[in-house]
Amino acid sequence: MNPEYKKISRSYKWKITHQITKEKVENVDTLLDEYNDYMTLFKNFGDMEYKTKAEKLMLKIKIMAIV
């Protein structure tokens, strides 16, 4: 195998991995913002629907952290 190919391949793999990680962090940030919004609504209005939605979002965040 060509050594240049190996260099490009490693570099490409790193770039893709970095991009996926960055997108994952951005997704988690967005979900955390939504979670905080729902918890604020729950604290202000006491509607359990907001708390349930927040709990579902937190579960999704935890699953994303594992994967």
- pLDDT one-digit tens code per residue, 14-23: 787 788 788 8
pLDDT of 29: 93
Residue 5 inside a domain? The answer is no
Is 46 contained in some domain?
Answer: yes
**Residue 11 located in a structural domain:** no
Packing angle between helix 48-66 and helix 3-45, nearest 10 degrees?
160
CA atoms within 13 A on the CB side of 51: 7
Q: pTM, whole model, 2 decimals?
A: 0.73
Q: What is the pLDDT of residue 13?
A: 75
Q: What is the pLDDT of residue 48?
A: 98
| Domain contains 54 | yes
Residue 7 lies in a domain: no
Residue 33 lies in a domain: yes
How many domains does the chain contain in total?
1
Q: What is the pLDDT of residue 41?
A: 98
Residue 42 pLDDT exceeds 80: yes
> Is pLDDT at 67 greater than 80 in this prediction?
no
Domain membership of residue 14 (yes or no) is no
For residue 55, what are the domain limits? 20-66
Instruction: Decide if 43 is inside a domain.
Output: yes
